[in-house]
Amino acid sequence: MSGDLIVPDAARGLVVFVHGSGSGRHSPRNRYVAAALNEAGLGTLLFDLLTPEEEADRANVFDIGLLAERLLERTAWVREQPDAAGLPVGYFGASTGAAAALWAAAEPDNTIAAIVSRGGRPDLAGDRLAAVRAPTLLIVGGRDPLVIELNEEAQRRLRAESRITVVPGATHLFEEPGALEAVAGHARDWFTTCFAGPGVST
């Protein structure tokens, strides 16, 4: 799996990006958010969950177990990198990638400090939601009613600390002026707070 790892000097944590259906490490939206996190002193890892051949089979894109397995492998890898050793790790997931992030975070031996979902489908993590221990922020667009409903359903199944943040006027891809900037700001604040210690202030 190809990937891009950036770890600023004196980084306070590292965020692994989990791309959604039909996306990859070159996603301009996730790269925008990653750059904002880098500016805030957080490391980032963007990588492809599937090979081009695997992506050709649409069933793989929605195989949350497979995506989570790839994420776990890459999480173990990044923790072994000298620049990232000892840093708290968080997940930033979009679309089906959010479900994979939550699925992977539910693994008993995978300690994740924080999760952020952007327009995600956390409901696809199913019964795994109850086992997630990481504080989870669910960001949804105000003009994306179905995804809002699905996120509310998922939040009811989460036992970890969680919050839904609605970006007013935003649709599913957050393409409206200022929408992606809002996502980046919410993600930055969530990760920096969670990486600093237990508990998230409201």
Per residue in 20-74, pLDDT tens?
765 667 678 889 999 999 999 999 999 988 887 887 787 887 899 999 999 999 9
Q: What is the pLDDT of residues 74-123, one digit of tens each?
A: 999 999 999 999 999 999 999 999 999 999 999 999 999 999 999 999 99
Residue 202, pLDDT score: 38
Which single residue is written with the structure tokens 């996730």? 30
User: Residue 120 is encoded by which pair of tokens?
Assistant: 């995600």
Residue 198, pLDDT score: 67
Which single residue is written with the structure tokens 């190809």? 2
What's the chain's Rg over C-alpha atoms? 15
User: Residue 67 is encoded by which pair of tokens?
Assistant: 């995506």
The CATH number of domain 3-196 is 3.30.360.10: no
User: Residue 178 is encoded by which pair of tokens?
Assistant: 């200022």
Beta bridge partners of 46: 4, 17
> What Å distances lie between residue 149 and 85, 143, 153, 157, CA to CA?
38, 12, 6, 13
Domain locations along the chain = 3-196
Q: How deeply is 133 buried, as exposed, middle or buried, from its count of CB atoms within 10 A (0-12, 13-18, 19+)?
A: middle
The residue type at 101: A
Q: How far apart are CA 126 and CA 104, in angstroms?
A: 12
Strand pairing category for 114-118 and 136-141? parallel
Among residues 34, 130, 148, the alpha carbon closest in space to that of 91 is found at 34
pTM of the complete model: 0.94
